[in-house]
Chains A and B, each alone.
Chain A
Amino acid sequence: METEEKEPEKAVLSSESSTFEFLYNKDNLIKCLQCGRCTAGCPAAKVFDDYSPREIVRRAQECSADELAKDPLIWRCGQCYTCNSRCPRNNTPASIILNARNKAFKEGYAPDEIYKKASLLFESLESIGVTISPELFKYDLGLLSKLVDSDKITTLRAELGLPPQNARDIPVPTKALKEIRTILKLTCNKGGRFNDH
């Protein structure tokens, strides 16, 4: 897990290249009426008094992508996309937030907790090609670890003859794993804290 960071062999793409600029394009947002239908249906807005997707969209219109990425409120969203389905102008506050999170993650603005969990999920992705797997039971996964009796799941999986640490009944074959690792190496940017295996 704690391997040193090296540069990817070949940086084919980065989110700063022109190809992916559309993700942060403000032109996608100018239609917002500030009507608040997103906030009225938002489960995160019910939980957190300081959070409103309507306000996030307003900030996305007025601030730079960098300022939005630094806003800690982007981590309040639960990514349920209720805002997407309710918007009369076909905006997607959840996607604006996701793009801001991607930028925050890349630039080093994301909460420490996110980097810690990312290293776990990416270890699973790189080692067996699967994002969530029983292999992760040995780590602290916050609330998920408290909810799940991992010993019981491990026992039940063994009774079914399932691989103890793999979410797949047939593990991803070696050749495919090499392909997955090559793609990760080519596409995960330097600032993204990905380990180069």
Chain B
Amino acid sequence: MYLFKSCVAGTFFPGIERSFRFILNSLNIDYFDDPNQSSCTGFAGHCGMVPPEANLSLNARNLALAHNSGYNNVVCTCPTSYANLKECIGDLEDDKTRAAINDVLKAVNYEYTGGVTVYHAAEVLYSLKEILAERAKFSLSQVHIATHHGCHYTKVFYDEVTGGLWEYPTLLDEICAAFSATLVDYSERSSCCGLGFSHLIGVDEYTESTSFRKLESILAEEPDLIVTMCAGCQLILDRFQRHFEERFNHVVPVLNVSQLVALLLGADKSRDACLQFGTIDIKPLLEKMGAI
């Protein structure tokens, strides 16, 4: 598999990509960690800042890099990259569009010819969950988990969701259940975390109001942990619990599913999972997992 990098994960939660590589290394799964790819530009793209031809050309180059390397399964840790790359593949199926983009790529000696499939890292973990559970050093049998599936995984290519339906995705729930976790439901399960791209880097009510509604609904069920599959959602759900701390009775840590699975396999808490990048005390969770 060809690992596609996330700018938000790389900046705020380096443990997400490190954990995923730790898991692949543990299972001796071959992958290519290519530094030559560019950002997918999705964050700026959703703010309207990136012309479609720039987005398509940069990602056609990224997809050509994957194809030329012989690693045709592109695996993203970021749902926005996942959706953006899949949209680009769809747009590039149009002959006229592909010819125009390849005309751009000529200037840098690339050609997009297709042949690449895009997945999210959580889908890889889902397909390996029984094998991973057999190798687990710790258990989630004492842990109550609320999951949040990123909107750009469930709602852009809604008919291609692995595990459940887009309206009630169970991808993360089934991975956690393989390690004997108890899953809790909550009313705002399918709601946006609040990130909102231009709203997060600007100032208005969308992000605060939407994240508060989401978190209030999750915390009412008193889980021990929130599990996500998106660095952006993780940033919002972690930092806004701090932001609204006075309005909540208690706060709970937020982990990416890759970090959680790596921890269960015995990854180093700082070097691999990089738990220090979260702002909420994780000790009570680690105690329940038997990891300390």
Contacts and interface: CB of A to CB of B under 8 A. Distances in A.
Contacts of A100: 48
Interface in B188-240: 190-192, 194-203, 205-210, 213, 235, 239-240
A11 to B, nearest CB: 10
Interface string B136-163: 0000000000000001101110100000
A176 B62 CA distance: 11
A170 B35 contact: yes
B14 A157 contact: yes
B155 A13 contact: no
Nearest to B166: A85
Contacts of A114: 47-49, 198, 202
B119 to A, nearest CB: 19
Interface of A is mostly: helix
Contact of A160 (B12, B14, B42, B240): B14
Contacts of B155: 80-82, 84-85
A169 B198 CA distance: 26
B11 A78 contact: no
B248 interface: no
Given A80-B151, A132-B43, A183-B108, A172 B49 contact: no
Interface residues of A, number: 77
A81 B152 contact: yes
Interface string B56-83: 0110010000000000000000000001
B286 interface: no
A188 B43 CA distance: 16
Contacts of A102: 48, 50-52
A48 B5 contact: no
Contacts of B209: 46-47
Nearest to A12: B104
B210 A43 contact: yes
B210 A78 contact: yes
Interface string A82-125: 10110000000000001011101110001101100110011001
A131 B54 contact: no
B198 A106 contact: no
A81 B278 CA distance: 27
A173 B35 contact: yes
A43 B51 contact: no
**Interface residue tally on B, bucketed by range:** 35 or more
Given A76-B206, A106-B51, A183-B58, A81 B200 contact: no
Contacts, number: 229
A149 B278 CA distance: 11
A160 B38 CA distance: 23
Nearest to B271: A160
Contact of A156 (B50, B96, B196, B276): B276
A132 B103 CA distance: 28
B115 interface: no
A36 interface: no
A65 interface: no
Interface in B6-65: 7-12, 14, 17, 33, 35-54, 57-58, 61
Nearest to B214: A43
Contacts of B152: 80-81
Interface string B103-136: 1110110100000000000000000000000000
B97 interface: yes
A142 B43 CA distance: 15
Interface stretch (A15-23, A26-34, A52-60): A15-23
A142 B203 contact: yes
15 contacts: A19-B100, A43-B191, A44-B196, A48-B206, A78-B192, A78-B210, A80-B196, A143-B203, A144-B200, A153-B12, A160-B274, A166-B10, A167-B10, A169-B17, A179-B108
Given A143-B203, A173-B36, A192-B51, 20 more contacts: A12-B103, A15-B52, A78-B196, A78-B210, A82-B190, A118-B49, A130-B38, A131-B41, A132-B7, A132-B39, A142-B200, A147-B243, A148-B239, A167-B7, A168-B5, A168-B10, A169-B14, A169-B17, A172-B35, A187-B104
Q: Which 4 A-B pairs have the closest CB atoms?
A: A101-B48, A167-B10, A78-B196, A187-B54
